[in-house]
């Protein structure tokens, strides 16, 4: 009985040490986050709709984009990793727009358009930007790390989620896969 | 039964390894003795968890949010604030052409020199301020946060 206790104690300690090691290793080495595969159609959840304003004060709803593949990017001007992805998204917008694709940037800048507009001009961003808020972030599961990007299918369902800096090819593969799939009418 | 709680540790550790915003810890500041008409110094000691950085007070790029200490209330008058000199680092999220970033990591201190007005009221008082920072790791950045700073000042 006593040896069984020792055995379980040893296993528990080893597992705890493994877990703690994983935790420390992840934080110290900051390996790239796991890739976000495109979910099968049956596993996709509806992307929450929202109403946000663009730089001209025009109300933009996610549902306006139904029938298109949408790359929904939560970002901010002060976010270095976001700055890496923005040129990719600009390229995707140019490359795939005619196939029914749109990038929609949700800026989480507290200072609003006075900060965003010069940045958009400088980076020559060619897709629509709307000003986000905490409520929008909460709708999408509490967006805290930026960038956080959702790739949404033609039915308005979330096909993949990318938290933090992701790979250009990863995004492009997801976009192409979704563009090749017609709308099914299964969006809620 | 006692062992059951141990099984949760690996699961907890795995869950914690998901990306989450770091918390900047600020050490509690001991009571400052301030004599009217003289100077007083307050050192704010703070630390970030390993693997995270915050922009220094003089970030490399103008669009980055600097580490900023603001004194907002209390009997002392701010004379100068000395921030830690940022270290320059390159991160995985930077383009090869980007300049290294001026950042603070780990433990750092911010030193404020105050003037104690000769007409300050005697006795204990609260000196209050805020420390604003914006942190990132190698893959993601987190929204700017503001931490309250409170110091008890004993004026005589």
pLDDT at residue A129 is higher than 90: yes
In a domain, A186, yes or no: no
Distance CA A81, CA B53 (A): 13
Q: Is residue A22 domain-shared with residue A77, that is, in the same domain? A: no
Q: Hey, what are B147's tokens?
A: 């931490």
Find the mean pLDDT for residues A25-35: 44
Q: Is residue A45 domain-shared with residue A126, that is, in the same domain? A: yes
In a domain, A81, yes or no: yes
What average pLDDT does chain A have? 86
Question: What is residue A179's predicted lDDT score, i.e. its pLDDT?
Answer: 97
Q: Is residue A90 domain-shared with residue A16, that is, in the same domain? A: no
Distance CA B52, CA B137 (A): 5
Q: Is residue A142 domain-shared with residue A85, that is, in the same domain? A: yes
A111 Cβ contact list (under 8 Å, min separation 6): none
Q: Is residue A87 domain-shared with residue A121, that is, in the same domain? A: yes
Give tens-digit pLDDT for B143-152. Answer: 999 999 999 9
Contacts of A146 in chain B (CB under 8 A): 140-143
Domain holding A23, by residue range, is 1-31
Instruction: Compare CB distances from B50 to A15, A28, A164 and report the shortest one's residue.
Output: A28
Find the mean pLDDT for residues A114-141: 96
CATH number at residue A76: 3.40.30.10
In a domain, A68, yes or no: yes
Give the CA distances from residue B92 to residues A84, B89, B98, in Å, rounded to whole numbers and listed in that order: 10, 10, 11
Q: In chain A, how many domains are there?
A: 2
Domains of chain B in sequence order: 20-155 (2.60.40.1250)
Give tens-digit pLDDT for A74-112. Answer: 999 999 999 999 999 999 999 999 999 999 999 999 999
DSSP single-letter state for residue A54: B
CB contact under 8 A, B140 and A145: yes
User: B139 CB near a chain A CB, below 8 Å?
Assistant: yes
Report the complex ipTM.
Answer: 0.77
Question: What is residue B97's predicted lDDT score, i.e. its pLDDT?
Answer: 85
Q: Give A185→chain B minimum CA distance, Å.
A: 34
């Amino acid at each position: 009985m006593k040896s069984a206790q020792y055995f379980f104690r040893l296993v528990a300690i080893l597992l705890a040490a493994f877990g703690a090691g994983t935790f420390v290793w992840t934080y110290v080495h900051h390996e790239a986050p796991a890739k976000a595969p495109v979910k099968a159609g049956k596993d996709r959840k509806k992307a929450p709709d929202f109403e946000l304003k663009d730089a001209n004060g025009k109300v933009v709803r996610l549902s306006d984009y139904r029938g298109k593949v949408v790359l929904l990017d939560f970002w901010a001007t002060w976010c270095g990793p976001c700055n890496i992805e923005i040129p990719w998204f600009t390229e995707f917008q140019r490359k795939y727009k005619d196939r029914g694709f749109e990038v929609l940037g949700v800026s989480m800048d507290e200072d609003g358009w006075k900060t965003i507009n010069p940045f958009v001009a400088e980076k020559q961003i060619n897709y629509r930007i709307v000003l986000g808020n905490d409520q929008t972030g909460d709708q999408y599961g509490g967006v805290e790390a930026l960038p956080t990007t959702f790739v949404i299918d033609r039915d308005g369902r979330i096909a993949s989620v990318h938290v933090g800096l992701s790979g250009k090819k990863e995004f492009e593969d997801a976009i192409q896969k979704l563009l090749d799939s017609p709308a099914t009418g299964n969006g809620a | 039964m006692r062992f059951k709680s141990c099984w949760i540790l690996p699961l907890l550790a795995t869950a914690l390894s998901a990306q989450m915003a770091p918390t900047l810890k600020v050490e509690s500041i001991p009571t400052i003795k301030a004599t009217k008409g003289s100077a007083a110094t307050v050192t704010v000691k703070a630390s970030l968890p390993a693997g995270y950085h915050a922009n220094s007070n003089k970030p490399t790029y103008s669009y980055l949010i600097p580490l900023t200490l603001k004194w907002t209330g209390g009997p002392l008058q701010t004379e100068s604030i000395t921030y830690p000199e940022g270290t320059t680092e390159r991160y995985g999220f930077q383009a090869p052409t980007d300049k290294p970033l001026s950042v603070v990591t780990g433990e750092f201190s911010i030193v404020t020199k105050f003037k104690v007005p000769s007409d300050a009221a005697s006795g204990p008082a609260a000196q209050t301020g805020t420390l604003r920072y914006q942190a990132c790791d190698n893959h993601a950045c987190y929204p700017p946060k503001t931490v309250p700073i409170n110091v008890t000042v004993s004026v005589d």
